[in-house]
Amino acid sequence: MKSGLKEHRAYNVLVFLALIFLVLLIFIGRAFQLTVLKTSNSVDLSQMSPLIDNGSSITQARRGNIYDQSGQPIAIDTTSYSIYAQIKGDQAEIVSDPDYTAKKLAEILGGDRDKILAQLLQSGPQQVEFGALGRNLDQNKIQSLQAAKLQGIYFKAQADRQYANDEFASHLIGFSDKSDDGQTMVGKLGIEAALDQVLSGHDKQAQDLYLTLDSRLQNQLEVLMSQIYQTYEPKELGAYLVEIPSGKLLSASQRPSFNLNNRQGIENEWRNLMVENAYEPGSTIKILVSALANELGVYQPQETYKSGSIDVYDVTIHDYNVVGWGDITFDEGLARSSNVGMVELVQRIGLDRWAKALTDFGFGRPTQFGLANETEGSIKFDNPVSETMSAFGQGILTSPIQLMQAYSAIANGGHAVKIQYLDHSSGDYQPQFAAKDLGQLFTSKAAEKVLSLMVDTVEKDYGTAQAYKIDGLKIAAKTGTAQIANPEGNGYLTGPTDYYFSVISFFPADQPKYMLYLNMKQPQNPNGKTGAQILAELFKPFVQSILVY
């Protein structure tokens, strides 16, 4: 009797152990499915997060923010959320009360309750999404959904990028876009692309960037740029403000531009015109000719020449009014923007020496500004005539960034300064800003002389930059009107507005603190105004806002 009882107990123990082993196998298999295979009822759980769970891997893939010099945000790393419903599968994972769930979703998301309910009652799919209603949800809506504790409602978190202003130095800032898995952002244009490794961190911690830009000035500039662009319809428009002598880029704007947040307009112009566009600079380059002529002492202060026209080999070069102004001094020639005077000076300097000077000024090679696709321009001449014509800005190709770095020497005692956009970073990439001297192009005496002649260009009754005069502020400026090469053949375009208008300015002229360069290509609706007058409508209010700020 006792042995039979023992045998029965042993049998029960074996059965119990077998059941435990079977349960363990089922548990291990389920755990393997959930944690390794990340599937349940053929549903991929790798992107599934219950709304009651506030965890997200997005925080570990943070992208560095971008700020202006005073810490005002420009580009901020954010997380966007979208939701979906599980309507088939394990009972513990699916929507348990479609009617109540539809009602709460409608309240929180602002949608139609009946439409949401119809989506939840579908018989085919295992998961349903809610279109635009369930995408790009902010943190407040996510928190409300979490508080509602709706069974079967899940969210996906994706990295996103928010820009404080829609148009704000757009081609300089650039943009980033989601990676293929949606977990990180990747720089695609501008600073976002050029410093992608710094912003993303990769194996290191992502760093925030503080730019040299001033948000107050940049926002004001964008408003003025839009007004000019809409009124006069130029094909291109650019404005760039630099602090002297640091070389900090305070504002940079161009048209066409694009919306940083939705990319609207990017198809109109992908290039950053400041660094990727090379064109014939026109008469602004005459300040470099004058500075070099003063440096070398090739003319006397009151020496005169006959304006109007001059023969260079088999070509006759004219002043813009063709007949000239009779015998005038070389100093007056700069204020009047005389082509003949500049040709005479370059001939005295010597073509070989002038060609070397153009290289010394930084033309013909990239400035290493720090953005992709920077042009090197061109200072290659086919013959002595084209080389001579470079004295008034024809026959060479330069970018705005090249011109501004060379022109900075006029306002900075003869020393050119590197233009920079990065003030510092939150890490070790750039701890603090440091000005970079590019070398002495002219003596301080030569630079001061040309600066005074640029003041005459604004204040004298014969100066070509009178439109830029502002009461109470001494301004040094030089205008440029360059012809545009015919893209379909030899020669230049001949339409009434087929010109590249520009102006370089320094102020206050007694001790320059700012350099402002404006340019405009082919205004389609000039309303009877000259290029100088149109740019002055941008120049004056912007300079006045600079003084206020």
Q: Which DSSP string corresponds to 82-148?
A: EEEEE-SS-TTTS-S-HHHHHHHHHHHH---HHHHHHHHT-SS-SEEE-GGGGSSB-HHHHHHHHHH
- State the pTM of this model: 0.84
Determine which of 47-51, 336-340, 471-475 has the lowest per-residue pLDDT on average. Answer: 47-51
Instruction: Render pLDDT for 185-228 as a digit per residue (tens, 0 to 9).
Output: 999 999 999 999 999 987 678 999 999 999 999 999 999 999 99
Determine which of 44-48, 299-303, 332-336, 407-411 has the lowest per-residue pLDDT on average. Answer: 44-48
Q: What are phi and psi of 248, to 5 degrees?
A: -70, 130
Given a cut of 80, whether residue 526 has pLDDT beyond it is: yes
Give the list of residues 6+ apart from residue 162 with CB closer than 8 angstroms, or none.
Answer: 75, 76, 78, 261
> Judging by DSSP bridges, how do beta strands 73-86 and 153-163 pair with one another?
antiparallel
Given a cut of 90, whether residue 180 has pLDDT beyond it is: no
Strand partners, 39: 44
Instruction: Tell me how far apart the alpha carbons of residues 436 and 269 are, in angstroms, rounded to a whole number.
Output: 31
Omega before 512 within 30 of 0, i.e. cis:
no
Omega before 256 within 30 of 0, i.e. cis:
yes
How high does pLDDT run on average in the chain?
90
Instruction: Answer yes or no: are the C-beta atoms of 344 and 306 closer than 8 Å.
Output: no
Range 275-289 average pLDDT: 98
Given a cut of 50, whether residue 57 has pLDDT beyond it is: no
Instruction: Supply the pLDDT for residue 203.
Output: 65
Given a cut of 50, whether residue 58 has pLDDT beyond it is: no
Between residues 499 and 11, the one the model is more confident about: 499
Give the list of residues 6+ apart from residue 254 with CB closer than 8 angstroms, or none.
Answer: 171, 225, 236, 237, 238, 239, 269, 272, 273, 274
CATH code linked to domain 57-211: 3.90.1310.10
Instruction: Tell the residue number behind the tokens 């022109």, with chain if given.
Output: 407
Instruction: Supply the pLDDT for residue 525.
Output: 98
Rg (CA), the chain: 34
**In 293-316, which positions are buried (b, 16+ CB within 10 angstroms) versus exposed (e)?**
bbbbebbeeeebbebbebebeeee
Instruction: Answer yes or no: are the C-beta atoms of 496 and 489 closer than 8 Å.
Output: no
Instruction: Supply the pLDDT for residue 156.
Output: 85
Instruction: Tell me how far apart the alpha carbons of residues 260 and 176 are, in angstroms, rounded to a whole number.
Output: 9
Instruction: Render pLDDT for 360-410 as a digit per residue (tens, 0 to 9).
Output: 999 999 999 999 999 999 999 989 999 999 999 999 999 999 999 999 999
Confidence of residue 13 (pLDDT cuts 50, 70, 90): very low
Give the list of residues 6+ apart from residue 177 with CB closer than 8 angstroms, or none.
Answer: 161, 185, 186, 188
Determine which of 12-21, 51-60, 86-95 has the lowest per-residue pLDDT on average. Answer: 51-60
Instruction: Supply the pLDDT for residue 17.
Output: 45
Given a cut of 80, whether residue 3 has pLDDT beyond it is: no
Of the chain, the percentage scoring pLDDT greater than 70 comes to 89
Q: Which of 539, 542, 545, 473 is nearest to 502 (CA)?
A: 539
Range 51-57 average pLDDT: 37
Instruction: Render pLDDT for 324-355 as a digit per residue (tens, 0 to 9).
Output: 999 999 999 999 999 999 999 999 999 999 99
Q: Domain extents for the chain?
A: 57-211, 272-548
Instruction: Supply the pLDDT for residue 40.
Output: 33
For 190-296, list the strands marked E by DSSP.
Answer: 209-211, 234-243, 249-255
Instruction: Tell me how far apart the alpha carbons of residues 274 and 429 are, in angstroms, rounded to a whole number.
Output: 24
Instruction: Answer yes or no: are the C-beta atoms of 509 and 451 closer than 8 Å.
Output: yes
Strand partners, 439: 416
Instruction: Answer yes or no: are the C-beta atoms of 392 and 346 closer than 8 Å.
Output: no
Of the chain, the percentage scoring pLDDT greater than 90 comes to 81
Instruction: Supply the pLDDT for residue 183.
Output: 75
CATH code linked to domain 272-548: 3.40.710.10
Structural tokens at position 536: 């002055």
Given a cut of 50, whether residue 50 has pLDDT beyond it is: no
Instruction: Render pLDDT for 81-113 as a digit per residue (tens, 0 to 9).
Output: 899 999 999 999 999 999 999 999 999 999 999
Instruction: Supply the pLDDT for residue 61.
Output: 58
Query: For 297, which DSSP code?
Result: T
Strand partners, 44: 39
Instruction: Tell me how far apart the alpha carbons of residues 402 and 242 are, in angstroms, rounded to a whole number.
Output: 13
Given a cut of 70, whether residue 415 has pLDDT beyond it is: yes
